[in-house]
């Protein structure tokens, strides 16, 4: 057997690489210049910085997360004694999953950005924000955005990136059909609008909508019919009635008479499908989130107008969505104070306005609406004004620690009613309610 030079060289290389990577592991956090999140609290200052871990739904290096990371940096620069460390946790579900692991490991962050409806679950570990934020900030939040922020009268969740569903209209088509440009006020009117806007010859559908992955739009519509998701303490399902099934029936009827484009006729991403048809002028009205506004205004050749989400029975009522910030009560008093200061900072006019303008998420404070900059902006893009005004009718989200499981179950049922429009809507909603009640009973 002769000595294999190649193998010897390979083994040598192997050893070298191990040595090299071993060294580079010693200083894992030195090459972070591009992310702005300066770290290593090893600065030889006399006073230790208060480190505030902030778990975000966004990756701090890009998109909305980058805007947030810039705000974090500004705050850290202005407050030398505090260091907020933002980290992305992979979206709403990612934050929830990691919080779960962190609760077991007992190393929770100080601030967590959670989906609005998750406070029902995280309430026991959420701190009373009025102790750590200034009262003027809390009073300054637009009231409609804080309806899901209170637990037993205590303010626990500060609005961050928030949205609400509205009705988008192709204003040119509405005008051509001789309809009131203000748009339909009720769901019945919406059905009439859709009939008049539909033009099979041109392949135009009057309306389209879908439920979203958390059945958010269904939930919203149920409120607009005067319905509820669960009772006050979250122990009973409350949508097993006409109010819960009306919107399903309406959508089914409109699909059957071909005045509504059925997003569930295709498996493709429903939201993209509707949006693309709306942009093409093939769907005249689109029930969608305010978050889509920027894209819809910027990519259309026609005028886009918006209206409140329709209602039935005389009272507007709809959901809001997006994320709120909570401070975890297990953090030290110093950390919680610093975290409160950071949330105060995020709610300063300048930050609220720039975040709104760049992301399309709703402005969160009343004083921001009064700034000349925002006033001018809203004059140029009055469509956003409608969504902000609509917030006065915002409905609180379901108070249940099991809401995540329930909506995951609900959306399957609601989807099935549109995939197969011959299904009895009352039966579908009843089945959904039974399944939801079972989830509640099993996980008390």
Note whether 439 binds another protein by CB under 8 A: yes
Separation between Cα atoms, residue 444 and residue 440, nearest integer Å: 6
Tokens of 44: 């030889």
CB of 319 to another protein, least distance (A): 14
Beta pairing class for 205-209 and 260-262: parallel
**Window 193 to 222, contacts with another protein (CB under 8 A):** 212-213
The residue behind tokens 């609509």 is 390
Of 160 and 307, CB closest to another protein: 160
CB of 128 to another protein, least distance (A): 16
Of 227 and 291, CB closest to another protein: 291
Instruction: Give Cα 141 to chain centroid, integer Å.
Output: 17
Q: Which stretch binds another protein (CB under 8 A): 52-60, 134-142, 173-181, 336-344?
A: 52-60
Of 136 and 408, CB closest to another protein: 408
Residue 358 dihedral angles phi and psi, to the nearest 5°:
-90, -25
Q: Which stretch binds another protein (CB under 8 A): 83-91, 220-228, 232-240, 343-351?
A: 83-91
Residues that bind another protein (rule: CB under 8 A) add up to a total of: 93
Axis crossing angle, helix 349-359 with helix 333-346, rounded to the nearest 10: 60
322 within 8 A of 160, measured Cβ to Cβ: yes
207 within 8 A of 194, measured Cβ to Cβ: yes
Cα 61–137–386 angle (5° rounding)? 75
DSSP string, 256-322: HTTSEEEGGGS-S-HHHHHHHHHHTTSEEEEEEEGGGHHHHHHH-SS-EEEEPPPBSSS---B--EE
User: Could you tell me how many residues make up the chain?
Assistant: 444
Q: Which stretch binds another protein (CB under 8 A): 44-52, 172-180, 218-226, 261-269?
A: 261-269
Q: Which of 288, 219, 232, 272 is nearest to 432 (CA)?
A: 219
Count other Cβ atoms within 10 Å, centred on residue 22.
Answer: 9
Site for another protein (CB under 8 A): which residue of 41, 182, 419, 434? 419
387 within 8 A of 362, measured Cβ to Cβ: yes
Site for another protein (CB under 8 A): which residue of 93, 242, 257, 441? 93
**What character string, x for contact with another protein (CB under 8 A) and - otherwise, covers 53-72?**
x-x-xxxxxxxxx-------
**Window 231 to 250, contacts with another protein (CB under 8 A):** none
**Window 268 to 327, contacts with another protein (CB under 8 A):** 268-276, 279, 288-289, 291-292, 295, 299
**Window 105 to 134, contacts with another protein (CB under 8 A):** 105, 107, 109, 121-122, 124-125
Note whether 258 binds another protein by CB under 8 A: no
440 within 8 A of 402, measured Cβ to Cβ: yes
Q: Which stretch binds another protein (CB under 8 A): 165-173, 183-191, 249-257, 408-416?
A: 408-416
Of 10 and 78, CB closest to another protein: 10
DSSP 95: H
Note whether 21 binds another protein by CB under 8 A: yes
Of 158 and 273, CB closest to another protein: 273
- How far the first Cα of the chain sits from its last, in Å, is 71
Helix (H) or strand (E) holding 150: strand 150-151
Of 86 and 179, CB closest to another protein: 86
Axis crossing angle, helix 242-256 with helix 425-442, rounded to the nearest 10: 140
The residue behind tokens 């804080």 is 146
Q: Which stretch binds another protein (CB under 8 A): 29-37, 229-237, 240-248, 376-384?
A: 29-37
Of 295 and 332, CB closest to another protein: 295
Of 21 and 135, CB closest to another protein: 21
**What character string, x for contact with another protein (CB under 8 A) and - otherwise, covers 134-173?**
---------------------------x-x----------
Of 55 and 251, CB closest to another protein: 55
Site for another protein (CB under 8 A): which residue of 9, 12, 18, 366? 18
Helix (H) or strand (E) holding 426: helix 425-442
């Amino acid at each position: 057997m002769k000595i294999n030079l190649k193998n010897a060289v390979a083994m040598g290389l192997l050893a070298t690489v191990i040595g090299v990577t071993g060294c580079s592991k010693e200083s894992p956090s030195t090459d972070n210049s591009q992310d702005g999140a300066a770290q290593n609290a090893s600065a030889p200052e006399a006073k230790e910085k208060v480190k505030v871990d902030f778990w975000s739904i966004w990756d701090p290096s890009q998109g909305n997360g980058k805007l947030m990371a810039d705000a974090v940096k500004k705050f850290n620069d202005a407050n030398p004694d505090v260091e907020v460390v933002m980290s992305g946790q992979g979206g709403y579900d990612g934050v929830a999953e990691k919080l779960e692991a962190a609760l077991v490991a007992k190393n929770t962050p100080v601030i967590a950005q959670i989906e609005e409806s998750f406070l029902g679950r995280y309430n026991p570990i959420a701190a009373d924000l009025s102790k750590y934020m200034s009262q003027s900030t809390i009073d300054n939040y637009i009231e409609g955005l804080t309806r899901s922020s209170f637990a037993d009268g205590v303010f626990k969740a500060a609005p961050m990136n928030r949205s609400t569903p509205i009705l988008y209209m192709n204003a040119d088509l509405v005008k051509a059909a001789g309809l009131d440009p203000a748009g339909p006020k009720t769901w019945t009117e919406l059905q009439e609008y859709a009939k008049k806007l539909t033009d099979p010859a041109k392949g135009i559908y009057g309306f389209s909508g879908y439920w979203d992955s958390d059945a958010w739009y269904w939930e919203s519509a149920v409120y607009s019919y005067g319905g509820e998701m669960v009772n006050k303490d979250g122990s009973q399902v409350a949508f097993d009635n006409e109010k819960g099934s009306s919107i399903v029936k309406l959508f089914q009827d409109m699909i059957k008479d071909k005045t509504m484009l059925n997003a569930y006729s295709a498996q493709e991403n429903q939201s993209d499908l509707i949006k693309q048809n709306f942009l093409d002028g093939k769907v005249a009205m689109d029930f969608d989130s305010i978050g889509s506004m920027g894209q819809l205004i910027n990519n259309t050749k026609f005028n886009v107008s918006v209206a409140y989400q329709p209602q039935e029975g005389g009272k507007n009522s709809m959901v809001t969505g997006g994320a709120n910030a909570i401070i975890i009560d297990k953090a030290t008093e110093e950390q919680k104070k610093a975290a409160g200061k950071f949330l105060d900072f995020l709610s300063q006019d300048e930050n609220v306005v720039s975040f709104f303008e760049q992301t399309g998420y709703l402005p969160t404070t009343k004083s921001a609406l009064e700034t000349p900059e925002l006033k001018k902006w809203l004059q140029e893009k009055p469509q956003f004004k409608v969504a902000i005004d609509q917030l006065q009718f915002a409905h609180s989200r379901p108070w249940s620690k099991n809401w995540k499981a329930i909506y995951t179950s609900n959306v399957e049922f609601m989807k099935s009613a549109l995939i197969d429009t011959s299904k009895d809507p009352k039966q579908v909603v009843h089945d959904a309610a039974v399944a939801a009640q079972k989830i509640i009973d099993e996980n008390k």
